Chain A
Amino acid sequence: MAMGKMKITCEEATAICTKSQYGAATLTDKIKLNIHFMFCKVCRLFSKQNSELSDMCAMAKRYQETHKCCLSAEDKEKLKAQIKEFDKEK
């Protein structure tokens, strides 16, 4: 593998970071990323924060679950009335 092909931009590096958060980065991707990390402090920081972001996503998920919203009884009555109305028109 030529070194030239192993060189990636910060934009590409961060895109790989994101993929790897979901276990979707290939081995080649990961090698390229680690080579990039040797020279780029900023992307290393991005990567660290990106994985912290994943932890926060789990928190947001729990937050959503505890604040789950649903159809109220009122919403349902309204829908029922609309269906009756429709039946009449038919």
Chain B
Amino acid sequence: MSEETKIHTLDPDKWIDAYADYLFNYTIARVSDAEKAKDLVQETFFAGLKSMKNFEGKASERTWLISILKRKIIDHYRKINSKKGKAEVRMNFYQDSEREGDWIEERVPQEWNGGADAEMESEELGAALQACIQKLPEKYRMVFEMKTIQGFETEDICNELDITSSNLWVIIHRARTQLRKCMEDNWFKK
């Protein structure tokens, strides 16, 4: 009768109705691409079916599925992280020769038109920034969104994606520098 002896069981026929939305929301908070999130949820259910015999009944069905999903997400992050150079369109903003760390002349931030205006059209502006976020390299986008949009703690992101905090800050900073520039070019251009 005690809690500890409770053995959980698996009932795949009920998985979709019971957990599909939950797993999808969990995924979309980390992987902003809806199609990719769907794929990961699907893969999770399949991996669950294939490893049913390993289920010991110690955790609830949901916890067990989430643990599979977590591995799928970290695998996904590693995959996008290892596509070195290829997909990464990173713009350099600072000199690396004599004047190391100074702004590159033509990348210097420009004054924004109506930037400080409190009456900024927030719906439109939100959509414009969203479009810029979509243009970020995927691994930047993932870390940036987890931190900024979803508001996860730095430590949690580092644990989930297996990165260091200095790594995280470099990514966040590059993402924000690109976003600033993207908004300047697409929204605030004089």
Answer whether A and B are interacting partners. yes
On whether the beta carbons of B180 and A9 are closer than 8 Å, the reply is no
The segment out of B56-64, B66-74, B81-89, B115-123 that lies at the interface is B115-123
Using A15-B169, A45-B111, A59-B129 as known contacts, say yes or no to A83 and B49 having CB atoms under 8 A apart.
yes
Using A15-B169, A24-B154, A70-B21 as known contacts, say yes or no to A59 and B126 having CB atoms under 8 A apart.
yes
On whether the beta carbons of B13 and A18 are closer than 8 Å, the reply is no
On whether the beta carbons of A60 and B116 are closer than 8 Å, the reply is no
Q: A57 → chain B, closest Cβ, in Å?
A: 5
Q: A25 → chain B, closest Cβ, in Å?
A: 10
Chain B, interface SS category: helix
Could you say which residues of chain A place their CB within 8 Å of the CB of B112?
49, 52
**Number of residues from A at the complex interface, CB < 8 A:** 41
Q: Is B108 an interface residue (CB 8 A)?
A: yes
On whether the beta carbons of B133 and A60 are closer than 8 Å, the reply is yes
Query: What string of 1s and 0s marks CB contacts (under 8 Å) between B1-39 and chain A?
Result: 000000000001101110011001100100000100010
Among A15, A57, A70, A82, the residue within 8 A (CB) of B129 is: A57
Closest 9 pairs (CB-CB, A-B)? A9-B101, A59-B126, A63-B126, A11-B101, A11-B94, A60-B129, A18-B173, A56-B129, A59-B122
On whether the beta carbons of B109 and A49 are closer than 8 Å, the reply is yes
Query: What string of 1s and 0s marks CB contacts (under 8 Å) between A1-30 and chain B?
Result: 000000011111011001101101000000
Could you say which residues of chain A place their CB within 8 Å of the CB of B129?
53, 56-57, 59-60, 63
Q: B143 → chain A, closest Cβ, in Å?
A: 12
On whether the beta carbons of A83 and B172 are closer than 8 Å, the reply is no
Q: A44 → chain B, closest Cβ, in Å?
A: 10
